[in-house]
């Protein structure tokens, strides 16, 4: 044990979290330093066994990133390929064809649900923004009605469905089954996305948010370059095939004997490193001549830069989780939660809400909730999958002025600040509450 004193352990945990949020919000420190410094200061508290502390720090860091570092990089490479090859616009076009031009807000919402699995939410919105303005102008509606469901769906998938880095990191921190999280997280995200679309239909028409003609003509379709886009099958395959392989591996492992041929094959094909590698190969098939050099140099370098922060922050989350496991703070918090009478699954949810509301980062909220709740799962009677998805649901609530994603969507949609707060803050509240309700239902039914 790092310390035998519940008071020291609990005070240390509270101090670490308070300092983390203070450094991010007031002093604008990068999340890596803002998380590292409080953890190191925790070791200076009197009564801490520093030998055990250092061992826990190193084991937590290394043990967490060893299984996800390469996967996070591969996921980022896949996102780069989808961003540059027009796959996002083809997926959106297919959704419009499926639900019809008259239901453009629903088509965009469903596009966000699919695209957000592989692309960072802000990148997805940047690419689709010209289409959103054009659709609002063509249909005589406003941006709140047209964009709000998309903004919420992108954020939901970004928080709940691997292989996006945040949920992938949380899966590693709690030790969840990746296939189960993909299946359950996908269902939760779909239901919550539909709830966000309904919110947009009800509230959107009453919110001032005129579309702008400055973005018209910015998409492939409007430029007459639709022929350069990949086919619908080719656009979906890099996202869907890896997810099916990973989920299929979980199904095979639970349904078949370990020595079964199918199980042995799926053990390899469903390994996230191989599954995402296949996805990247499928995405690279959609590249054009001008991409030949960039796809093996610039795209990889950009993906590595994107991945580095997520990997080290996840590692520090693993260190914090391992340190907490070696203190009485775990039992103290779990006993307090039991005393409140609330279902235990709301603890990671509340931590996710606090992490996001204070830092403005969904990824930080997801990782923080997973890191703190992971050591308590046994005491609280929570499965890794339920813990991860509850924390992720909380990390969506609420996007407002301290969120970079909020400002990306607000500036590109040309919404007044008040309108954006109602539209985007409102939809992320509806999304998060609906997602948590779905997670609670699946947990109560024993599905996760």
SS (H, E, C) 123-150: HHHHHHHHHHHHHHHHHCCCHHHHHHHH
In-domain check, residue 338: yes
Nearest to 162 by CA among 116, 213, 225, 107: 116
CA–CA–CA angle 359, 194, 373 (5° rounding)? 40
What is the rounded radius of gyration, in angstroms, for the C-alpha atoms of the chain? 22
In-domain check, residue 91: yes
- Per-residue pLDDT of the chain (448 residues), as tens digits, is 898 888 888 888 888 888 988 888 788 888 889 889 999 999 988 889 999 999 999 999 998 898 889 999 999 999 999 888 888 889 999 999 999 888 999 999 999 999 999 888 988 999 899 889 999 998 999 999 999 999 999 999 999 999 888 899 999 999 999 999 999 999 999 999 999 999 999 999 999 999 988 887 766 666 666 677 889 999 999 999 999 999 999 989 888 888 899 999 999 999 999 999 999 999 999 888 888 888 889 999 999 998 898 899 889 989 999 998 888 887 788 778 777 888 999 999 999 998 888 778 898 889 989 999 999 998 889 999 999 999 999 999 999 888 889 999 999 999 999 999 999 999 999 999 999 999 999 999 999 9
In-domain check, residue 400: yes
Provide the domain limits for residue 388.
51-230+291-444
In-domain check, residue 31: no
**Helix, coil or strand: residue 354:** helix
Peptide linkage before 398 cis (omega within 30 of 0): yes
- Token pair, residue 77, equals 């490479």
Please give the Cα distance from 106 to 99 (Å, whole number). 7
For 77-90, b where at least 16 C-beta lie within 10 A, e where not — what string?
A: bbbbbbbbbbbbbb
Residue whose structure tokens are 């980062």: 361
3-class secondary structure per residue, 160-219? HCCCCHHHHHHHHHHCCCHHHHHHHHHHHHHHHHHHHHHHHHHHHHHCCCCCCHHHCCCC
Q: What is the largest CA-CA distance in the chain?
A: 69
In-domain check, residue 112: yes
Q: Quote the number of domains for the chain.
A: 1
In-domain check, residue 7: no
Please give the Cα distance from 173 to 349 (Å, whole number). 15
In-domain check, residue 1: no
pTM of the prediction? 0.90
Please give the Cα distance from 76 to 278 (Å, whole number). 14
Nearest to 442 by CA among 255, 203, 245, 181: 181
In-domain check, residue 212: yes
Q: Cα dihedral sign for 331, 332, 333, 338?
A: positive
Identify whether the C-beta of residue 425 lies closer than 8 Å to the C-beta of residue 357: no
Residues whose CB is less than 8 angstroms from the CB of residue 74 and which lie 6 or more positions away in sequence, other chains included? 163, 272, 273, 276, 277, 279, 280
């Amino acid at each position: 044990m790092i310390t035998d004193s519940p008071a020291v352990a609990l005070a240390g945990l509270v101090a670490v979290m308070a300092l983390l949020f203070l450094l991010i919000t007031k002093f604008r420190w990068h999340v890596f330093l803002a998380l590292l410094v409080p953890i190191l200061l925790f070791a200076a508290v009197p009564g801490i066994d520093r030998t055990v502390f250092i061992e826990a720090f190193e084991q937590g860091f290394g043990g967490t990133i060893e299984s996800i570092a390469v996967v996070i990089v591969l996921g980022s490479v896949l996102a780069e390929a989808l961003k540059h090859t027009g796959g996002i616009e083809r997926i959106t076009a297919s959704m419009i064809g499926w639900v019809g031009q008259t239901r453009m807000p629903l088509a965009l919402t469903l596009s966000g649900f699919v695209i957000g699995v592989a692309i960072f939410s802000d990148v997805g919105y940047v690419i689709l923004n010209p289409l959103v303005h054009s659709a609002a102008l063509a249909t005589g509606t406003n941006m709140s009605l047209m964009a709000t469901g998309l903004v919420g769906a992108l954020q939901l998938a970004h928080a709940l469905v691997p292989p996006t880095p945040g949920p992938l990191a949380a899966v590693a921190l709690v030790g969840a089954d990746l296939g189960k999280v993909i299946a359950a997280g996908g269902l939760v995200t779909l239901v919550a996305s539909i709830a966000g679309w309904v919110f947009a239909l009800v509230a959107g028409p009453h919110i001032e948010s005129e579309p702008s003609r400055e973005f018209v003509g910015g998409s492939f379709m409007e430029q007459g370059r639709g022929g350069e886009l990949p086919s619908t099958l080719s656009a979906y395959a890099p996202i869907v095939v890896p997810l099916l392989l990973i989920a299929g591996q979980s199904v095979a492992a639970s349904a078949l004997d370990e020595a079964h041929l199918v199980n042995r094959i799926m053990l390899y094909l469903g390994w996230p490193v191989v599954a995402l590698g296949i996805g990247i190969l499928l995405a690279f098939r959609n590249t054009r001549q001008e991409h030949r050099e960039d796809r093996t140099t610039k795209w990889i370098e950009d993906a590595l830069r994107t991945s580095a922060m997520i990997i080290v922050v996840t590692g520090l989350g693993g260190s914090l989780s391992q340190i907490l496991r070696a203190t009485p703070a775990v039992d103290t918090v779990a006993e307090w939660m039991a005393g409140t009478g609330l279902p235990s699954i709301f603890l990671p949810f509340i931590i996710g809400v606090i992490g996001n509301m204070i830092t403005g980062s969904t990824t930080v909220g997801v990782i923080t909730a997973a890191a703190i709740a992971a050591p308590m799962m046994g005491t609280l009677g929570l499965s890794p999958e339920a813990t991860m998805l509850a924390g992720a649901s909380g990390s969506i609530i609420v996007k407002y002025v301290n969120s970079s994603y909020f400002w990306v969507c607000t500036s590109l949609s040309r919404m007044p600040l008040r309108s954006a707060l109602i539209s985007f803050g409102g939809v992320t509240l509806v999304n998060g509450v609906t997602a948590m309700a779905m997670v609670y239902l699946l947990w109560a039914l024993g599905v996760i």
